A and B are shown apart, each in its own frame.
With several copies, the nearest count.
Chain A
Amino acid sequence: MPVMNYIQAVTQALKEEMTRDEKVFVLGEDVGVRGGVFRATDGLYEQFGEARVLDTPLAESAIAGVGIGAAMYGMRPVAEMQFVDFILPAVNQIISEAAKIRYRSNNDWSCPITIRAPYGGGVHGALYHSQSLESIFANQPGLKIVMPSTPYDVKGLLKAAIRDDDPVLFFEHKRAYRLIKGEVPTEDYTLPIGKADIKREGSDITVITYGLCVHFALQAAEKLEAEGISTHVLDLRTVYPLDEEAIIEAASKTGKVLLITEDNKEGSIIGQVSAIIAENCLFDLDAPIKRLAGPEVPSMPYAPTLEKEFMLNPDKVERAIRELAEF
């Protein structure tokens, strides 16, 4: 199996889906001639032409809204938001429209759109190019939110998102784009949206997380193995709606749970994960449900001292796991 990086898996999934289905097309700012500011759509313009790789005006509500219209017609648009931070002008289109179209029309209409956006910090992006904004959408039935951690998951889940008959938000960690590499089958495959994935089996501590933090957890687990601490790592992959079954199983398995997000803590995805555990397997727990998250500040600053203080990393994760092990 070829090894590729995270963003190459994005590009490959797009390319394969556009080849497979004429209804699939891409739209967004600078996605055409430029191939995207991160080059996620690199080569698509050349291969599929400007009608299917559409450079749009700088207007996110229109990018989402035009995509939604096309999806209602029966197309399979993949809209790119240049940074997840810039999805905010499109919130009304996503929550009032995409999420509710099937429900409000009693199943007469549907909205199979995929909206991709790079998120996350650690790239000197400062306040507005570093955010994790998934929790804004993670209370809206009708939506699904996918946040993969590996190139393998990226390809399988992005293809599944495009084929999904409902709107899917697909958030890609921009620091992972070139940092995270992995084996990706050349053949066509999809992975199930809504299913978490065990990234490492372990018996002492359960870590539940998603995105780049999965790698921090795996690195920490590796190190802690030597100390005799066995860490179980569950990758949520889909952060909305959550895979309750997998969460309950993983939490019950070790009885000691650490939840991790790069987002700030209050109101983040991991609060929901905690609530599921507290409601369903309280008596299997041997320790309080711990959360490791970004600090309660509006976003990640630019200065390296401040960015570093904000961002999680394998050391911080390792410390938190060890603490919990010692509880």
Chain B
Amino acid sequence: MTENRHEALGLSDDQALDIYRTMLLARRIDERLWLLNRSGKIPFVISCQGQEAAQVGAAFALDRDKDYVLPYYRDLGVVLAFGMTPLELMLSNFAKAEDPNSGGRQMPGHFGQKKNRIVTGSSPVTTQVPHAVGIALAGKMEKKDFVSLVTFGEGSSNQGDFHEGANFAGVQKLPVIFMVENNQYAISMPASKQLACEKVSDRAIGYGMPGITVDGNDPLAVYQAVKEAADRARRGEGPSLVETISYRLTPHSSDDDDRSYRSKEEVETAKQKDSIKSFSTYLRELGVLTEEIEDKLDQEIRKIIDDATDYAEKAAYADPDTLFKHVYAE
């Protein structure tokens, strides 16, 4: 019999189902984006596919009314969980004026929404790491008890900003969670050409913080690791490094052709471990999810996405005159 793991973690059936729903929503939005791209309606997609479990598991382990997240471009699952709506995401993908992330100024995947404490991000990787540390520092100075979660790829963990930010947080014992979403590729480069360490979490000791590597296809394992890290952080015990292992199921982006550097078989094998399937199976085995619920979910999600797409497609682009706005405070 399947063990009820979510209960052991203090998660109700509803919460577990909510995790699943958010993962599925992220996946379906992402799939729709590819369709829109391939039919010429949006110029660019960068995917979360394969990392939904890690993203949603992590986000649910936080206090979504209080904590800060500094997501990277794949973190559709994180921002959905933190309150960005599918419509807002579609507006961003269509680069429309109403996009709350940037008003259509940034590429999709460059998240930011102050009201949900989703901190604005850029393209150069890993710059968000010290920002997360600065936000945690500010929280500590103001005696708040929020934590900040910052995510990035395993390739990006080789940037100087990771090292400098992690060390700063370690010295100051700040409430930050560094989460490496190790999807085993940085564009064309397999992790073995990026990293000489066995695990990215091996780097934690160098910053005086605990490091842990968990299965990124298991939202509950990620939930648990991030929950523990958040608890530590709130207790004033400092930062943690969490590494989630999964696989990038799509090419790097819609501009990439991954057949030049990895085999179809490899991708197919990885798909066997798809968290959407495995978590669905888990929930079904426990009776939390049923055929009926799944159907309803599918319909509901399809409608949400259809509506969002329709609206976003028809929405207006920013007026050319707005180009000159918001360089400085007005």
Contacts and interface: CB of A to CB of B under 8 A. Distances in A.
A–B contact at 8 Å CB threshold (below): yes
Interface of A: 25, 29-30, 32-35, 37, 51-52, 54-62, 64-75, 77, 85-86, 88-89, 92-93, 96-97, 100-110, 124-129, 141-142, 144, 164-166, 295-298, 301-306, 308-310
- Range of interface residues on B (Cβ < 8 Å): 35 or more
B106 A70 contact: no
A102 B188 CA distance: 33
B326 A103 contact: yes
A70 B134 contact: yes
A136 to B, nearest CB: 14
Given A57-B194, A296-B327, A66 B101 contact: no
B122 A97 contact: yes
Interface string B127-142: 1011111111111010
Contacts of B100: 108
Given A106-B101, A295-B324, A301-B318, 5 more contacts: A58-B125, A65-B129, A106-B103, A302-B102, A303-B97
B120 A69 contact: no
Contact of A85 (B97, B123, B187): B123
Contacts of B119: 69, 72, 109
Contact of B113 (A25, A96, A108): A108
B110 A62 contact: no
A295 B119 CA distance: 27
Given A86-B124, A104-B110, A69 B327 contact: no
Contacts of B43: 124
B130 A62 contact: yes
A306 B134 contact: no
Contact of A100 (B104, B122, B133, B317): B122
B243 to A, nearest CB: 16
Contact of A129 (B113, B123, B155): B123
Nearest to A33: B261
Given A37-B187, A37-B255, A126-B106, A306 B194 contact: no
Contact of A103 (B105, B107, B113, B172): B105
B318 A303 contact: yes
B31 to A, nearest CB: 22
B35 interface: no
Contact of B139 (A34, A73, A296): A73
A101 B120 CA distance: 7
B95 A303 contact: yes
B181 to A, nearest CB: 14
Contacts of B188: 30, 32-34, 55
B139 to A, nearest CB: 7
